[in-house]
A and B are shown apart, each in its own frame.
Chain A
Amino acid sequence: MNRILNAAKLDFYAARSSLMLSSLMFILAIAIGAATKQPIITMVLVMVFATYLGGTVFSTHEKNHSDKLYGILPLKKTEMIVGRYLYALVISVPSIVIAGVLGRAISSILSVTIDSATFWIALSLAFVYYCFSVGVSYPIYFKFSFAKAYIFTMLPMYLVVLAVMLITRKSNYLNTLSQFINFFNSRTYLAPIFGILGGLILLAVSAWIANLIYTRKEI
């Protein structure tokens, strides 16, 4: 366990300079959410940008020949992979808190009402999206490297975001999701539970696949 924590710590330090840039991305998320008067877009975008931060750790390691460092450290490949997913999970926590705070702040400043169920559902879906994105991209990065796979792994994500933005602009997506929201309306506490569970399952499946890929790969 200690080695996994050390691996996650190594990833955090490796990606730290990229994490500093996250504030700029969050400003962009605020601007888009404010311009569209949709605080939920800000919340989702914060998590979209967080997936980028989750991926840049691969880029940093590749640029700095970290494969050699991993080659000499007393660390199993599986532990390194679990550490990488732990790192992804750790950076999702402040991101989801920031997403929530910004969503509330924008709704308050722009006087856009978001009921509690919608807020928690949006936050939970944003977290699930983050886990989905990490879950898709990490095994691909482990297989092909960040430099080769970045465009291909992020493209579907950008398309999803674009589709969501178009849908939310052209129709009242809250109505289309009314049944969904109604279910959670009287059970608000379930949204984060489902979100966390769903996200963790996605990450666990992805980590298992990444482990299959990476333990057979020469570093």
Chain B
Amino acid sequence: MSNALEVQNLHKTYSDFTLDSVSFSLPAGYIMGFVGQNGAGKTTTIRCILNMAARDGGEITIFGLDNVRDELAVKQELAAVFDESFFVESWRVREVEKIIKGFYSKWDSRLYGDYLKKFELSPDKRVKELSRGMKLKLMLAVAMSHGAKLLILDEPTSGLDPVARDGLLDILREYIADGEKSVFFSTHITSDLERIADYITLIDHGRIFYTGTKDNLLEHFRIVKGNKTDLADPLKRKLIGLSVTSTGFTGMLPVSEMKGLPGSIVTEQPAIDEILVYISKGGATHE
């Protein structure tokens, strides 16, 4: 199985933040959710992938090509959609094609027209007249009209209503249907990922906490709850995001660490957002 995107030991240091040995890979034909709380390093990672920020170390390959050395070839094969439109507000939807198509060798005007119809985007409307959801669809129409095989989305659903979010997920499902295209989807709205992602990469404070299949992630951890008397020191050290109250404790534990737990402790399978909450409180790397 070839990888659409491969990030190896990515390092990027700012004065107040560091991406530390970020590694993950997205196999071609799948959707990967890239999850983390605000400021965890999602956007910095994406900026490094797009070569908008220079990496300090590591390697990023897209369909086997280096994202810096082979930047022009790589960018013919990828598209990106952000949480805000990057088209000039005074442009008409029709003009967007006229301005952008010259940059892409595989631009398909017929396909662009088809997407405009499908997304109910009027060619005569100006970008500023479009709703947030429609601007997102315009970015998607452009992204999908030049044969991009990797679609990178940076928080695309933030600010969208549930109907628009649902519509986006349908578009993404259709996009990868041919088995050749892949989606790398950064978000902190984890319910979207529960529905659509095949793989999940969890990032916390600039470090990868988990990367692998979604199913494996959900099987990999358990929320544990118990009385304070059950909270022995060895267990305390293993727990991720431990929270102690006057009546008891709660935390998250890798399944591999659950042997020998007292019978009085209750365990539950966590949802992705619960995992996110627990790791944000403190934890170790689990790949």
Contacts and interface: CB of A to CB of B under 8 A. Distances in A.
Contacts of A10: 99-100
Interface string B70-108: 011101101110101111111100010011101110000
Contact of B102 (A6, A65, A67, A219): A6
Contacts of A72: 50, 75, 78-80, 86
Contact of A9 (B75, B85, B86, B99): B99
Interface string A100-143: 00000000000000000000000000000000000000000000
Given A16-B90, A64-B89, A2 B75 contact: no
A69 B75 contact: no
A6 B104 CA distance: 10
A74 B103 contact: yes
B4 to A, nearest CB: 16
B72 A69 contact: no
A66 interface: yes
A67 B80 CA distance: 13
Tell which of B72, B75, B86, B87 has the most Cβ of chain A within 10 Å. B86
Interface of B: 47, 50-54, 71-73, 75-76, 78-80, 82, 84-91, 95, 98-100, 102-104
Using C-beta atoms within 8 Å of the partner chain, give the interface range for chain A: 20 to 34
Contacts of B79: 72
Tell which of B53, B72, B80, B103 has the most Cβ of chain A within 10 Å. B103
B68 to A, nearest CB: 11
A58 B78 CA distance: 26
A136 B104 CA distance: 33
Contacts of B102: 2, 5-6, 9
Nearest to A63: B89
A91 to B, nearest CB: 16
**Shortest Cβ-Cβ A-B pairs, 4 listed:** A74-B75, A68-B86, A6-B102, A69-B86
B87 A6 contact: no
A76 B86 contact: no
Given A13-B91, A67-B52, A74 B80 contact: no
A17 interface: yes
A218 B52 contact: yes
Nearest to B98: A13
Interface in A17-36: 17
A2 B101 CA distance: 12
A218 B53 contact: yes
A64 B53 contact: no
Contacts of B73: 74
A63 B97 CA distance: 20
A199 B100 CA distance: 30
Given A64-B88, A75-B103, A76-B71, A13 B52 contact: no
A60 B99 CA distance: 15
A71 interface: yes
B269 to A, nearest CB: 38
A13 B95 contact: yes
A155 interface: no
Contacts of B88: 13-14, 60-61, 64, 66
A61 B86 CA distance: 9
Contacts of B52: 67-68, 71, 218-219
Given A72-B79, A73-B75, A218 B90 contact: no
